[in-house]
Amino acid sequence: MSQPIQSKIAGMNAAIGSMSSMFADYVNTVKTDYEHQIAQLEKQVTALKMGEQVDSISVTDPRENLPTFPLPIQRQKFLELVDLDKTNRIYVYSGEVTESPSLWASRIENIMKTFNFSTCILETNQVVSRLLGGKALQLYRKQKNQVVAWVELKRLVQTLDKPVLRSIAVHKELAKLEDTDLPIEYRIKMIRHWEPQLDPSPLGDRIVDVIRIIPEKETEIIKAVEEGISNFDQLLSILGPKEEDSTKPQEIPEQPQPPVLSYKQKRAAKDVRDRTCTYCHKEGHKSSQCFKRPKR
C-alpha cells in the first residue's frame, strides 16, 4: 500500500478516535454531574430526617459546563425531535392568519435551550424548509441568501403576522366551541390549541372565555380562582390532563372471519371446481375434455 493512502487511513482513524473520545467525555461528564448532585441531595435529605438544619436543596443545571455535540449531530437530533410531532405540527409556521410567529419561535427556542443546541443549526435550508410552510416558506425562498441567522429568520416571518386579524380569527374559532353538543374533551383540547395563538391578555378575560365555552366547568373554575391561580396554564390543568391519544385514528372493528371448513368440505369444494369447465362453465367434465376448447 502506498504511503499517501496509509497516511489518509491513519488520519481517518485518528479523527474517528477523536470523535469517540469526545462522545465518551460528554457521557462521562453528564453522568458525573448527575451522580454528584444526587449524592448531595441524598446527604441533605438524610440530614433533614435526622432533624439537622439544612440551608437549601438545589440542583444546578449540568448543561452549563457540558461540551456540545458537533453541529451536524445537533442538526440531526433537532430534526428528529421536530419529526416526532408530525400530527400537531407545532414546530411549523405557515404564515396563516391564526398562527403566532412569536409562539412558534418560543417553541423552537425551548428545544434549543433544553438540549443545549446551537442556533447555528437553524441557518441551513435543510432545517428551515422543515420549520416553515405555506406563505412563510415562500417568503423565505424569495430571499437571495438562503443562509439566514435565527434572529433574522424570526424578524422575516414576523412580517407575515397581523395581530388584530389573528385575534379576530382565533376568537371566531373559539366561538365555534360554544356549541354544548360538542364533547367536553374536544372543547378542552381545542382551547389548548387556539388560546396560545392569542397575544397575552388579562387572566380574567381568558377565564370568562373558558367559562363561556365550557359552562359545565364553571363551578370548578370559580373555586380555583378563589383558591388563587396565577396563570392560564394552572387554569387548564384543572380542566383535565392533555389527551395524548386524541389524534390517533380510530380502531377499525375486526371483520368476521370466514368459517373454517373441514377436510371433507374442502375436498368436496375442490371436486366441484375440478368438474366445472372454464370454457363452457358447465359441471360434469374437466376443461381439458371440453369440446369448446380451442384445437391446437
Which segment of 61-65, 77-81, 231-235, 252-256 scores lowest on mean pLDDT? 61-65
Q: Closest by alpha carbon to 194, among 169, 219, 214?
A: 169
Q: Are 137 and 129 in contact (CB under 8 A)?
A: yes
Q: Which comes out higher in pLDDT, residue 204 or 152? A: 152
pLDDT, tens digit, for every residue of 105-145? 888 888 888 877 888 888 888 888 888 888 888 888 888 77
Query: What is the spatial distance between Cα 104 and Cα 196, in angstroms, rounded to a whole number?
Result: 10
Domain coordinates of the chain in residue numbers? 3-65, 71-158, 164-239
The pLDDT of 223-236, averaged and rounded, is 76
- What are the tens digits of pLDDT across the range 46-97? 666 565 655 554 444 444 444 456 778 878 888 887 777 666 667 888 888 8
CA distance 41 to 35: 10
pLDDT classification of 245: cutoffs 50, 70, 90: very low
Predicted TM-score of the model (pTM): 0.52
pLDDT digits 0-9 by tens, 268-282: 666 655 666 766 766
Q: Please, are residues 153 and 128 in contact by the beta-carbon 8 Å criterion? A: yes
What is the reported pLDDT for 194? Answer: 80
Give the side-chain half-sphere CA count within 13 A for 18.
7
pLDDT at 10: 61
Alpha helices in the chain (DSSP H): 3-49, 71-83, 101-114, 125-131, 134-141, 150-158, 163-176, 184-194, 203-213, 218-227, 232-239, 263-275
- Burial (0-12, 13-18, 19+ Cβ within 10 Å), 136: buried
All three cell numbers of 235: 387554569
Model pLDDT, residue 31: 57
Between 57 and 161, the higher pLDDT residue:
161
pLDDT number for residue 36: 61
What is the C-alpha to C-alpha distance for residues 20 and 266, in angstroms, rounded to an integer?
A: 63
